[in-house]
Copies of this chain bind each other. A is one copy, B any other.
Amino acid sequence: MTRDTDGGGPTDRDLSRLLQNLTVESDRYAERFGAKHGLHRTDVNALALIMESARLGVPLSPSSLAKELRLSPSATTALIDRLEALGHVERARPAGDRRRVALEVPAAAVEANRHLFTPLAMAFAQSWAGFTPEEREVVARFLQVSTETMKAVSAEAADQVRDQRSR
């Protein structure tokens, strides 16, 4: 049976459940918190990606954003339209290839956008304060392998769907 913490620590099932709780809550967060700013779950995710890339000096393109979010090109265009209308991002035509669009974050919006994410970041920082460096390593490793696992299983499923279609 599903014993608990006695011998072997949390079971796989325990961890799965915790993980599921977390992702559900994360969905809720994105939805509820985004609503405050007129954004949807997708928009929040997209904005996070765009800001991250912009911060690294490699602005995202619509197509790579589409790939990240697994969204169709048309949906991505609409998504960027929404974000642009709200002033969160800007379309820029880079010098070299004029077919491309670079998604940039207007200086004025950087600060405002940051307010979208900092409350959670600060709350996390506080609740993680008790974790030692070694424990953080463990957690990081866990998060990484779990993400990889989902990616792998997800890819398998996608292959099978592809197979079904081509059959």
Contacts and interface: CB of A to CB of B under 8 A. Distances in A.
Contact of A142 (B139, B145, B161): B139
A70 interface: yes
A25 B138 contact: no
Nearest to A146: B22
Contacts of A27: 23, 27, 45
Main secondary structure of the interface of A (DSSP, over half): helix
B28 A154 contact: yes
Interface in A106-134: 119-121, 123-128, 131-134
Interface string A53-82: 000000000000000101000000000000
A86 interface: no
Interface residues of A, number: 71
Given A25-B154, A154-B25, A18 B124 contact: no
Interface string A143-159: 11111111111101110
A8 B16 CA distance: 28
11 contacts: A8-B133, A10-B139, A20-B48, A25-B154, A32-B161, A33-B157, A123-B150, A127-B145, A127-B149, A138-B138, A139-B142
Interface of A: 5, 7-10, 12-29, 31-33, 35-36, 45, 48, 52, 68, 70, 119-121, 123-128, 131-140, 142-154, 156-158, 160-161, 164
